Structure 1
Amino acid sequence: MSVDQELAGRLALVTGAGRGIGLAVVHALAERGARVVATDLDIEEPGPYAETVQEQVVTRPLDVTDPEAVEALVGETEDALGPLDIVVNVAGILRGSPVVELSDEDWAATFAVNTSGVMHVSRAATRRMVRRGSGSVVTVASNAGGIPRAGMSAYAASKAATVMFTKCLGLEVAADGVRCNTVSPGSTLTDMQRGMWAAADGKDERAAVRGVIEGDLASHRTGIPLGRIADPADIADAVVFLASDRARHITMHDLYVDGGATLRA
């Protein structure tokens, strides 16, 4: 089978699927033949998806911070559409602030989505996958989980916790044929990234992109050696690879997709 249709016959569930990286992941999975259940907090049929993949995509609203809602949706999905082969956790939020100004509410909300949400979805899915002896879970984390970022303590800590959770889960379910991996993007041209720029200094997008590529000594941030900011499709391609049989001997791996920005620290 060609790579173009390598996921034909597979059923995937994607969280945070309404925009940005999640939107790109839905398209990448569907374009390779998968049927996709696309979830987000507020999403309606037919969703923001190209006509070429709409027939393969079903949209469902989901709050990943609600464990009962997650369990119900995973169960209903399998009852209606069949067993899940792939789960991709993309849902995430970023609330930037220096630690001394960080509110308890922002800290708790960040972990509720970025860490507990990943646990809720991964737990519900792998509970079923292990009984079948197969499955792949891919979680979109962040290179901020592996290198300190000023003003991003809650986000970075939540992503670091998510990476280690996924590795522990991968260890526990490996003997049952289930693989669990993470993809850690760097700066990617999404609404979240644009929101960070707007909050920081209001620069126009071209200047902001240039600043990310060049780095910022004042904030102890390196630039991007490859000289470009990521497109959501760059991250989606890495997700699809880890979800596919081409990565059948890869588990508990954290794949950085950041153009070398962290110098793989």
Structure 2
Amino acid sequence: MVGPLQGKVVAVTGAGRGIGAATAAAAARSGAKVAIGDVDTASAEATAASLGGSEQGVIALPLDVTDQTGFVAFLDEVENRLGPLDVLVNNAGIMPLARLLDEDDEVTGRMLEINVRAMIRGTREAVRRMQPRGSGHVVNIASTAGKAGLPGASTYGATKAAMVTFCEAVRLELRGTGIDVTAVLPGIVRTELAVGVPDLRGMSAVTPEAVADGIVEALVRPRAEVYVPAHAGPLINSARLMPRRMGEWISRRIGADRVFLDALERPERAAYERRATHS
């Protein structure tokens, strides 16, 4: 059976684990040739092997998204080994949590570098390759936190808001070129990035596989924004139209005002925070 992405070349950053690994798997199942990029080469290679490796058109490549020259070299190698790039999924990102006055400036800079600058440079480099062919798709993994500022994640939310606005602008710039841009906005996803973050009342966390399915669906039927779960979009957008006091009351009712602050108090969060801020 021919999959909906049959023969497409898909590169995914930060794909050694979590949403990235699930996206690589979903794309491969849909018939794509997939490049798994990750700074953790061991996890990238393990994920590629689990999907059948090069015999199934899945390769693992080292990628530090903060290295501009390295990012270009990554995409060069993708195209050398798999063919012209059809899809780039900018998934690499980190979510250190802290109250504003407790956040170290180096951590702030690291979030901006990985979540924003790397996403911009990846998008730019992918579009440069896609534009001469008049086709392609860039998917940037944002977050519902980019539409609703939450205590304990002010910088993280700011980076995701930047991604959303960036996608809106670039999508308009590329109108008529054959290149699509999609922002994916998951809620809380059960990955290492969200370890220790509790569920919101009435809105359970989603799996990486659910996000991956949303990404593949957007690649088949392009959309500007994809929310996971789907009902999060109408809820968030409706809340943004309400008077501020009402919106803040709803936030308190569902526990959104405490969700990241409570995670800070959980001991299981510590290991991720160390890795995200020092790796």
**Structure 1 and Structure 2 fold alike (TM over 0.5):** yes
Distance 1:189 1:50 in 2: 23
1:229 alignment partner AA: A
Unaligned runs of 5+ in 2: 238-279
C-alpha spacing 1:27/1:158, structure 2 compared with 1 (3 Å): same
Displacement of 1:259 in angstroms is: 5.9
1:19 and 2:17 matched: yes
Moved over 2 A (4+): 44-56, 258-262
Query: Does the Cα contact within 8 Å between 1:20 and 1:232 map onto a contact in 2?
Result: yes
Find the partner of 1:9 among 7, 10, 25: 7
Partner of residue 264, structure 1: 236
**Deviation string, structure 1 residues 130-151 (Cα, Å, up to 9, x no partner):** 1100001111100000001110
> What's the counterpart of residue 202 of structure 1?
none
Q: Secondary structure at the match of 2:41?
A: coil
Indicate yes or no: 2:145 matched with 1:144.
yes
The TM-score normalised by the length of structure 2 is: 0.78
How far 1:82 moved relative to its partner?
1.3
Say which structure is richer in helix. Answer: 2
Q: Which moved more, 1:185-194 or 1:47-56?
A: 47-56
Q: Deviation of residue 79 (structure 1)?
A: 2.9
- Cα distance in 1 between the residues matched to 2:207 and 2:30: 19
CA gap of 1:93–1:52, structure 2 versus 1, over 3 A, is closer
When structure 1 is superposed on structure 2, of 74-83 and 20-29 the one drifting more is 74-83
Distance (whole Å) between structure 1 residues aligned to residue 215 and residue 135 of structure 2: 17
* CA gap 1:104/1:31 in 2 versus in 1, 3 angstroms: same
**CA distance, structure 2, for counterparts of residue 52 and residue 103 of structure 1:** 39
Per-residue deviation, 1:52 = 4.8
Match of 2:176 in 1: 175
Q: Is the 8 A contact 1:41 1:63 kept in 2?
A: yes
* Rounded Cα–Cα distance in structure 2 between residues aligned with 1:130 and 1:256: 27
Question: TM-score scaled to structure 1, two decimals?
Answer: 0.82
Match of 2:174, SS state, is: helix
**2 CA distance for matches of 1:36 and 1:184?**
22
Name the counterpart of 1:71.
Answer: 72
Residue identity opposite 1:231 in structure 2: T
Pair 1:254 & 2:225 matched: yes
> How far, CA to CA, are the matches of 2:26 and 2:107 in structure 1?
32
- Give the secondary-structure state (helix, strand or coil) at the position aligned to 2:28: helix
Q: What are the within-5 Å matches in structure 2 for residues 190-209 of structure 1?
A: 190-194=191-195, 196-197=196-197, 208=198
How many pairs does the alignment contain? 233
Structure 1 gaps, min length 5: 198-207, 215-222
Q: Is the 8 A contact 1:7 1:34 kept in 2?
A: yes
Code of the residue aligned with 2:137 in structure 1: it is S
Cα distance in structure 2, aligned partners of 1:30 and 1:59? 13
Match of 2:218 among 225, 239, 242: 242
Aligned 8 A contact 1:21 1:236 in 2: yes
Q: Is the 8 A contact 1:9 1:33 kept in 2?
A: yes
Paired residue type of 1:82: G
Tell me what 1:163 maps to: 164
Deviation at 1:229, TM superposition (A): 1.8
